[in-house]
Amino acid sequence: MGAPAITKLEPPISVGRIYKEVIAFCNGPASYTTGGDVILAKDLGLTTVIFVEIIAMLGTRMALPVFAANDSPEPSFKMLIASIAGVEVANASDQSALKFRIKARGLY
């Protein structure tokens, strides 16, 4: 499995008294995992994540963050990639030509 690699990370900015927000860029994975590939908070320069927004930089795909089913800050999340029709891409498919922008908020 080839989890997405963060290719650029902007410096974090303070949001409120305890949270930081980061903007990161990544390519899709070389071998996609059904259900989404894991992105660790520490890869984004955070210790936990409370909010994530992912923007596909091509019009043929979209990406959705998937968290564990609870309401506490998480040390990771999954990035699920789907077609614009809402169909998840195939397991083990090469998505490395795709680029994504990730905005994440959490503890620094």
Give tens-digit pLDDT for 4-29: 888 888 889 999 889 999 999 999 99
Domain residue extents for the chain: 6-107
Looking at the chain, list the stretches that DSSP marks H as alpha helix, in order from N- to C-terminal side. none
> Residue 20: CB partners within 8 Å, gap ≥ 6?
12, 13, 14, 45, 46, 105, 106, 107, 108
Q: Which CATH number does the domain 6-107 belong to among 3.40.50.920, 3.30.70.2750, 2.60.40.3940, 3.40.50.300?
A: 2.60.40.3940
Query: Across the strands, what pairs with 19?
Result: 15, 107
Q: Average pLDDT, whole number, for the chain?
A: 90
- pLDDT: is 8 or 54 the higher one? 54
The per-residue pLDDT for 102 is 96
Give tens-digit pLDDT for 70-99: 677 789 999 999 999 999 999 999 999 999
